[in-house]
C-alpha cells in the first residue's frame, strides 16, 4: 500500500526566506505527483502537477521536483510572503483508476 510522508509537519519562517517542503512515497510506480495548498476551512487548490516522466515543474515562485526512483519530491518556495501561509499537501497517483494518496501536510507560517 502506498504511503506518503511529509516533513516537516509544521514550519515557521520570517518573510523573504526561501524554503523547501519535503514529500516521500513508498511505491515508486506512480503516474504523477500533485502539490496542493489548503487555507484554513477551505478546499484544496492545485499548485503543481508533475508527471512521472518529468523531473520538475515551475509556477511563479514555486518549483517542484520529482525523483521517482528514490520516492521523493520537494516543493521550493522562493522569497516567501505572509500570503503563502497555509497547509501544503503532497499527493501521488498510482496506476489504475482510483484516486490520490495524500500526505498529512506541512503547516507553513510566514512571519511578517
Q: How many residues bind other proteins (CB under 8 A)?
A: 25
Q: Is 103 in the site for other proteins (CB under 8 A)?
A: yes
Cis peptide before 8 (omega within 30 of 0): yes
Q: Is 49 in the site for other proteins (CB under 8 A)?
A: yes
Q: Smallest Cα–Cα separation from 108: which of 14, 5, 3, 30?
A: 14
Cell of 50: 508533475
Q: Which stretch binds other proteins (CB under 8 A): 17-25, 28-36, 65-73, 77-85?
A: 28-36
Residues 6+ apart with CB under 8 A from 86: 37, 38, 39, 40, 108
Q: Exactly one of 8, 20, 26, 42 binds other proteins (CB under 8 A); which one?
A: 42
The three three-digit cell numbers of residue 56, written as one number = 520538475
**Contact letters (x/-) for other proteins, 52-91, by CB under 8 A?**
x------------------------------------x-x
Contacting positions for other proteins (CB under 8 A): 4, 31-32, 34, 36, 42-46, 49, 51-52, 89, 91, 93, 97-105
Amino acid at each position: 500500500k502506498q504511503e506518503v510522508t511529509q516533513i516537516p509537519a509544521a514550519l515557521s519562517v520570517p518573510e523573504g526566506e526561501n524554503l523547501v517542503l519535503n514529500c516521500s512515497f513508498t511505491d515508486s510506480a506512480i503516474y504523477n505527483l500533485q502539490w496542493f495548498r489548503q487555507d484554513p476551512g477551505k478546499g484544496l487548490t492545485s499548485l503543481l502537477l508533475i508527471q512521472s516522466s518529468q523531473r520538475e515543474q515551475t509556477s511563479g515562485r514555486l518549483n517542484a521536483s520529482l525523483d521517482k526512483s528514490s520516492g521523493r519530491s520537494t516543493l521550493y518556495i522562493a522569497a516567501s510572503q505572509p500570503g503563502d501561509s497555509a497547509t501544503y499537501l503532497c499527493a501521488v497517483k498510482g496506476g489504475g483508476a482510483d484516486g490520490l494518496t495524500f500526505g498529512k501536510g506541512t503547516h507553513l507560517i510566514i512571519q511578517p
